[in-house]
Amino acid sequence: MPRSFGVCDPDQKRRAEAANQIGGAKPVADLRTILDDKSIDAVTIATPDHWHTPATLLALDVGKHVYVEKPCSHNLREGRLLVEAVARTGRIVQHGTQARSDEGFVEAMQMLRNGVIGDVLIAKAWNIQRRRNIGSAQPSSPPSELDYDMWVGPAPLVPFQRNRHHYSWHRWYNFGTGDLGNDGAHEFDMARWGLRVGTHPTSVAICGGNFPSTTTGNSLIR
């Protein structure tokens, strides 16, 4: 069977732009159109976080391989469902912690393995970026080019609001995971890699709060 490829987005403008960038790609609005196409062997999931696991599970169940962006899941339970689905279907899932493929990081980890700094007992990870302020907004009608029901998908339905749409969804609990799940997925992975950690933690402690300001947008809003 001839192979085909497509781009999927519930936002008509965005999927048209993507299709133009990838010559020959078929633009579709509904992920199920891609999943039903037997000529497509694998999919890349680059959606808001709340869609990562549901879309990956759907793809696995119809026999497709998956590259899913970080974080691979919106919560721990979803992550475990992914592991179970991979074992059940025999398909390949790659998680988007692409720093693992960076030559510099690979070399650094090999240096740790070679004992350059001795025994590694502790690792610390931090992020010093200052995110833009997402501003304030009131519920409104979604843009005409957006299938908002499809965009929300498996998340609790809330009215459309322009500051929780497209990139700003990272800051909303229903759709994103804040910077812990956004860039933290990379930093935590580097720490675990350096420590050779391959299992879940036995305990977790956390402190912090919700600190919105006029200069940064790192808060996670419920």
Using one digit for the tens of pLDDT, what is the confidence trace for 174-207?
A: 999 988 888 889 999 999 999 999 888 888 888 8
Are 10 and 71 contained in the same domain? yes
Are 39 and 86 contained in the same domain? yes
- Residue 19's Cβ-side half-sphere holds a number of Cα atoms within 13 Å equal to 17
Distance, first Cα to last Cα, the chain: 47
Kindly report, residue by residue over 13-53, the tens digit of the pLDDT: 999 999 999 888 899 999 999 999 999 999 999 999 999 99
Are 135 and 95 contained in the same domain? no
Which of 99, 133, 161 lies at the terminal end of a domain, its last residue?
Answer: 99
Name the residue range of residue 57's domain.
Answer: 6-99
Which of 65, 99, 133 lies at the terminal end of a domain, its last residue?
Answer: 99
Residue 222: the pLDDT is 66
Are 126 and 78 contained in the same domain? no
Cβ pair 145, 12 in contact under 8 A: yes
Are 95 and 180 contained in the same domain? no
Hey, what are 171's tokens? 């800051």
The residue type at 102: D
In angstroms, the CA 92 to CA 69 distance is 14
In angstroms, the CA 157 to CA 63 distance is 29
List C-alpha distances in Å: 57 to 46, 67, 98. 14, 12, 21
In angstroms, the CA 135 to CA 3 distance is 44
Cis status, amide bond into 154, omega within 30 of 0: no
Are 36 and 81 contained in the same domain? yes
Which of 42, 67, 99 lies at the terminal end of a domain, its last residue?
Answer: 99
Residue 141 domain-assigned (yes or no):
yes
Record the pTM: 0.88
Domain CATH for 88:
3.40.50.720
Are 92 and 127 contained in the same domain? no
Hey, what are 145's tokens? 């080019």
- Number of structural domains in the chain: 2
Residue 137 domain-assigned (yes or no):
yes
Q: Of 132 and 218, which is predicted with more confidence? A: 132
Residue 17: the pLDDT is 94
Residue that has been written with the tokens 């970080």 in this structure: 70
For residue 66, pLDDT beyond 50: yes
Q: pLDDT averaged over the chain?
A: 90
**Overall average pLDDT of the 123-130 stretch:** 83
Determine the distance from the C-alpha atom of residue 138 to the mean position of all C-alpha atoms in its chain, rounded to a whole number: 26
For residue 145, pLDDT beyond 70: yes
